[in-house]
Amino acid sequence: MPLFSLPGVHVPHRKNTSDMAAVKEFMPKSVLIPTAMHIGKPASVCVKPNQEVKVGELIAAADGFVSSNIYSSVSGKVKKIDSVLLSNGSYVPGVLIESDRLMTPYEGITPPEITDYKSFIDALSKSGIVGLGGAGFPTQVKLSVKDLSLIEEIIINGAECEPYITSDTRTMIDDADKIKDGIELLKKYLLAKKVTIGIENNKPQAIKKMVETFKDDTAVNVKALPSLYPQGGEKVLIYNITGKVVPEGKLPIDVGVIVINCTTVAAIADFVKTGMPLVSKCVTVDGSAVKEPKNVIAPIGSSISELIEFAGGFKEEPGKVLYGGPMMGIAVPSLDSPVLKNTNAIIALNKKDSVTPEPTECIRCGMCVNNCPFNLQPVKIAAAYNNKDGAELKDLKVNLCMECGCCSYVCPARRPLVQTNRLGKGYLREFLAMEAKKAQEEKA
């Protein structure tokens, strides 16, 4: 087994809930379901206030190729179409539904008829499934490949390298049969001859379960990977499993690979078998401020406040509450913010763990470069950004930054390197747009 070949950092695992099967008894009083829980164009609301809806009923239709259907996660009454503040600072329409607590399924739900690759993709476009590992890319788009012969290998991402989060781990342990059925679908309709399940070696239960599940399937290989963050990053995972490098500006399919999250695979199988679209999500609720950490099956749109209350509430005042883990997670705008399709964890940290240290002067130690998965140079990127030098930012390959936070994590001067990289990417976009506009004007 080859060792991890790229740099990275050893972060505390804190997998406190890895032995806790997801609790299914959580029932929110109401749900607020945003129309944008995926990469691409927001869905278009198709219900009205006071309308009765049921679990799995369409409430917002995909609006374009890169978009995703959205379904009611509870049965009850639409109270209003409200405005929802997302963690990126934007507002989108959202459907507020008061639950009747009956969870009555919609009568029109039936398993999709799938006979070939096209009907498989058509079915996925109706499923509402997006990348459930955090990216939120519509699954039917990810699996739309013009030439299936390009697919040499499908990688199932079970790395789950962030501290605290164990929702994917529980999927691999508790829903192994669904993952198996999902992989069979991928093999059948994407003509995949080789499938590799990548799991960090700090998850022995999940590795054992996957090995047992696929012991008779020679096309599926379970690969234990060293626990070194950011092992679950798509390009990092591809390199450490296949040895292939995805070039800048290219996609995994350009090197013959498709990467898909293990929980997404299970969701595909569940939809194909039952016809029930994506309406709930396994969410890890943990962190130093949470009284009773646990994994919870939460209806999409459930408020974070209700979810934390279900986990015993706060044992001390939180300093920060995150969507996702402490390395790449994003602070929630409010405890009233909803669980989204791609929410794999709600992590509440106490004030001590939330303090951002004061930065000091760079000591030119080079640790940020040595630990960057893509060998970027954050110090030079910071200088280029401060000088507003777009050409230099381009030459320094700032767009390769996956914002994993390794540089900031190891920096002894506590410089906000990943934040500056993000700002640098934003400025580079502006610079390239200005350059393109200037080139057009010169042609005219």
Specify the DSSP class assigned to residue 225. E
User: How far apart (Å, rounded) are the C-alpha atoms in residues 204 and 295?
Assistant: 18
Mean pLDDT throughout 142-163?
97
Residues 6+ apart with CB under 8 A from 230: 8, 161, 236, 327, 328, 373, 402, 404, 406
Q: Categorize the per-residue pLDDT at 226 as very low, low, confident or very high, splitting at 50, 70 and 90.
A: very high
Report the alpha-carbon distance of residue 135 to residue 368 in Å, rounded. 25
Q: What is the pLDDT of residue 222?
A: 98
Q: Give the confidence band of 3 by pLDDT, cuts at 50, 70, 90.
A: very low
Contacts of 28 (CB under 8 A, 6+ apart): 74, 99, 298, 299, 301, 302, 303, 306, 307
Q: What is the pLDDT of residues 115-144, one digit of tens each?
A: 999 999 999 999 999 999 877 899 999 999
**DSSP code per residue over 262-328:** HHHHHHHHHHHHH---S-EEEEEEESTTBSS-EEEEEETT-BHHHHHHHTT-BSS-EEEEEES-TTT
Per-residue confidence (pLDDT) for residue 286, from 0 to 100? 98
Structure tokens at 344: 């794999």
Determine the pLDDT at residue 442.
87
At residue 444, the pLDDT reads 76
| Cα 303 from Cα 281, distance rounded (Å) | 13
| % residues pLDDT > 70 (the chain) | 99
Closest CA to 171 of 37, 54, 308, 264: 264
H or E stretch covering 154: strand 153-157
pLDDT at 414: 96
Instruction: Identify the pLDDT of residue 284.
Output: 98
Between the CA of residue 363 and those of 366, 368, 379, what are the distances in Å?
8, 11, 10
Picking from 166, 165, 178, 146, the residue whose alpha carbon sits closest to that of residue 206 is 166
Check if the beta carbon of residue 427 is closer than 8 Å to that of residue 388: yes
Would you say residue 188 has pLDDT above 90?
yes
- Please check the confidence at residue 422 and state whether its pLDDT lies above 50: yes
Query: Token pair for residue 160?
Result: 């789950």
> Which stretch of DSSP H or E encloses residue 184?
helix 176-189
Select from 301, 305, 276 the least CA-distant residue to 290: 305
Looking at residues 52-70, what average pLDDT do you find?
Answer: 97
Q: Count of CB atoms within 10 A of residue 191's CB? A: 12
**pLDDT tens digit string along 317-361?**
999 999 999 999 999 999 999 999 999 999 999 999 999 899 999
Q: Across all residues in the chain, what is the average pLDDT?
A: 95
In this prediction, residue 6 carries a pLDDT of: 59
Give the pLDDT confidence score for residue 7 in this predicted structure. Answer: 77
User: What is the reported pTM?
Assistant: 0.94
Q: pLDDT confidence of 295, banded at 50, 70, 90?
A: very high
Count of residues in the chain: 444
Q: Which H, E and C letters describe 385-408, residue by residue? A: HHCCCHHHHHHCCHHHCCCCCHHH
Element (H, E) at 60: strand 58-61
pLDDT at 5: 44
* 93 CB-near residues (< 8 Å, 6+ apart): 34, 35, 42, 45, 60, 81, 82, 83, 84
- At 88, the pLDDT band (50, 70, 90 cuts) reads confident
